[in-house]
Amino acid sequence: MAGKVAVVTGGAHGIGAGTARLLHSEGARVVIGDLQVEAGERLAAELAGGTEDVVFVRTDVTVESDVARLVDTAVERFGRLDVMFNNAGIIGAVGPIDRTSLEDADLTVAVNLRGVLCGMKHAARVMKPQGSGVIISTSSPAAVMGGVGAHVYSGVKAGIIGLSHSVAAELRRHGVRCNVVIPGAVVSQMTADLVAGGADDLAGAETALDRSSYMGRALQPDDVARGVLYLASDDAAYVTGVVLPVDAGMTGAGGPSAMADEKYAAQGGLREAGRRTE
């Protein structure tokens, strides 16, 4: 990532912070956008270490002018934009469908889908004339599986995938790639609020996710960041319009394997009428 410039929304905590750290450690200059000013400024100062390689910009992704300013800051400070990571998101509206608050639903759509659309729009206005760039957006297993997320959240996360496929088809002739990452349940403030003692109980979240993880350990922000790094890097120069799950196989290989059952431990085959071969 040496010489590249990345913008990360929702970059103050969790997946966004982990990705900002990794991209910077790989040589990128990073612009962090988030509503959490104190945490965002603290992270930017830590990563910059006295240099001007990392900057924080308070950003509400539901406000287009905020997203435009975030992209403009990258260009004004560093001269270009190579990676746009649309990561900001909320759980939003929860509860049964017949009791859904449309006010909460509207905010869920505004943050999780309209915010991504704004990010794509303003990244594309820089990347198209530049002739290069990568747009990456965060979706969820709830986009492709029923029953694992809130209703409106599931719908907008699915919308991110459809939007990304469509934008990938438009922008590839301009040298711009557009991809999606699907993280499983990751140790973060959002997850801690759902599965542990509150948003700040990251240790409790890790313990809970350790128990439920397919891989036997909790998914960490760094794990997701490495998937984003691949999609952002020149190693993925011919990769666009893809959805990369970083979820221990939840979306592609969910549930227990029948072949892990003791009755299938011996090598052999099953043929007609249940006849076994050794």
At CA 171, angle to CA 166 and CA 175, rounded to 5? 145
Does 212 map to a domain?
no
Number of domains in the chain: 1
* pLDDT at 189 exceeding the cut of 90: no
In this predicted structure, what is the pLDDT of residue 226? 97
Across 20-30, average pLDDT: 98
Burial pattern 134-171, b for ≥16 Cβ within 10 A else e, equals bbbbbbbbbbbeeebbbbbbbbbbbbbbebbbebbeeb
CA–CA distances in Å: residue 109 to residues 49, 59, 61, 256: 36, 17, 11, 34
Can you say how many angstroms the Cα of residue 63 is from the centroid of all Cα atoms in its chain?
Answer: 20
Across 213-240, average pLDDT: 92
Does 204 map to a domain?
no
Q: Determine phi and psi for 55, rounding to 5 degrees.
A: -135, 145
Condensed to tens digits (0 to 9), the pLDDT of residues 75-127 reads 999 999 999 999 999 999 999 999 999 999 999 999 999 999 999 999 999 99
How far apart CA 255 and CA 248 sit, in angstroms, is: 11
Which of 4, 157, 164, 188 is labelled catalytic?
Answer: 157
CATH number of residue 167's parent domain: 3.40.50.720
Across 53-73, average pLDDT: 98
Does 171 map to a domain?
yes
Which of 139, 140, 164, 188 is labelled catalytic?
Answer: 140
Q: Cβ-count burial of 79 within 10 angstroms (0-12 exposed, 13-18 middle, 19+ buried)?
A: exposed
How far apart CA 85 and CA 103 sit, in angstroms, is: 27
In this predicted structure, what is the pLDDT of residue 267? 66
Q: Cβ-count burial of 276 within 10 angstroms (0-12 exposed, 13-18 middle, 19+ buried)?
A: exposed
Does 166 map to a domain?
yes
* pLDDT at 264 exceeding the cut of 70: no
In this predicted structure, what is the pLDDT of residue 66? 98
Q: Determine phi and psi for 125, rounding to 5 degrees.
A: -70, -20
Q: Where are the alpha helices (DSSP H) in the chain?
A: 14-25, 37-48, 64-78, 102-109, 115-130, 151-171, 189-195, 202-212, 221-232
* pLDDT at 183 exceeding the cut of 70: yes
DSSP 230: H
Does 71 map to a domain?
yes
Higher pLDDT, 201 or 61: 61
Across 14-25, average pLDDT: 97
In this predicted structure, what is the pLDDT of residue 180? 98
Full-model pTM? 0.92
Among residues 117, 118, 181, 108, the alpha carbon closest in space to that of 144 is found at 181
**Catalytic residue flag (residue 230):** no
Mean pLDDT of all residues in the chain? 92
Condensed to tens digits (0 to 9), the pLDDT of residues 151-166 reads 999 999 999 999 999 9
Does 116 map to a domain?
yes
- The confidence band for 147, taking pLDDT boundaries of 50, 70 and 90, is very high
In this predicted structure, what is the pLDDT of residue 275? 73
**Catalytic residue flag (residue 153):** yes
Does 192 map to a domain?
no
Which of 4, 153, 154, 188 is labelled catalytic?
Answer: 153
Across 200-212, average pLDDT: 73
CA–CA distances in Å: residue 77 to residues 25, 74, 86, 129, 149: 19, 5, 20, 18, 39
* pLDDT at 191 exceeding the cut of 80: no
Does 258 map to a domain?
yes
**Catalytic residue flag (residue 157):** yes
Give the domain extent around 170: 5-184+219-277
